[in-house]
Amino acid sequence: MTYLIGIDGHGRRDSGGACGEQGEAGKFGPGDLPMLSGDFAIGLMTIITGLAIADMVASTHALLMNRHRVRWDWLATLAAAYIFLLIVSSWGISYRTMGNQMINPPLWLFVIGLTQIIPLYLSGRASLPDVVEEKGVDLAAHYAQVRRYFWASVAFTYLMFVGYGIFILGPATLLGSYLSPFAQLLMMAALVVVADRRVHAVIVPIIFLLFCYDHLFSPMFSDMPWVAGPRALP
């Protein structure tokens, strides 16, 4: 059953009913718009990463409710905060790339898009322990246990992103807009290989700060500068 998005007389979007409720099936009335394929693809991808966010929220709830049995660790917390921000940032990137557009990628290209999304889900799920056992949980020990899996997952997302950018724009892009992601990718590779916590204590904050510099104050859903207060996007 196809659902539509209508626009009322004031130019505002509102949710319409099913096709059969709008009129003759398969025909759109004045002002009715079908869901664009780009928006449909965004929905599919955000479902995957949204599940990771939901799992992280549930894990955070369990840690806070049992905080007397939790040995906190700044490095594990920072890694979890990083993947949380990275996932949320991916929603804005998806919207700016595909939002309000008709797209029709071949299967191989759509799968490449999924290969950038699914590792984010895996790393989000691994970032925090699922349960707090009676004997308690040590977040430093948890980080040491999952650090290779966690950073390998994030690095794979970056590898696909940077690799596809080079394929489309050429190697020279590594000295431009892809320089920061490429530098972060190299540091993530080091985190996968090196288990020494002292190395992680240096590199993880650098990755986090680079990411924040690139994305934290950038507009999520358009290239327009952000301003305080209500604002209508074109």
Locate 213 and state its tokens: 């510099």
Are the CB atoms for 3 and 35 separated by under 8 Å? yes
Locate 103 and state its tokens: 């797209």
Are the CB atoms for 19 and 4 separated by under 8 Å? yes
Q: What are the pLDDT digits (tens) for 177-228?
A: 889 999 999 999 999 999 999 999 999 999 999 999 998 988 888 765 554 4
pLDDT at 101: 80
> Residue 119's closest CA among 198, 192, 221, 218?
192
pLDDT at 121 over 70: yes
Q: What are the pLDDT digits (tens) for 67-92?
A: 999 999 999 999 999 999 999 999 98
Find tokens 């369990």 and name the residue. Answer: 62
Cβ count near 51 (within 10 Å) = 13
pLDDT at 29: 53
Which parts of the chain fold into alpha helices (H)?
19-22, 37-65, 74-98, 107-127, 139-169, 179-193, 197-215
- Residue ranges covered by each domain of the chain: 1-34, 36-215
CA distances from 116 to 21, 119, 121 (A): 38, 6, 10
Give 34's DSSP letter.
E
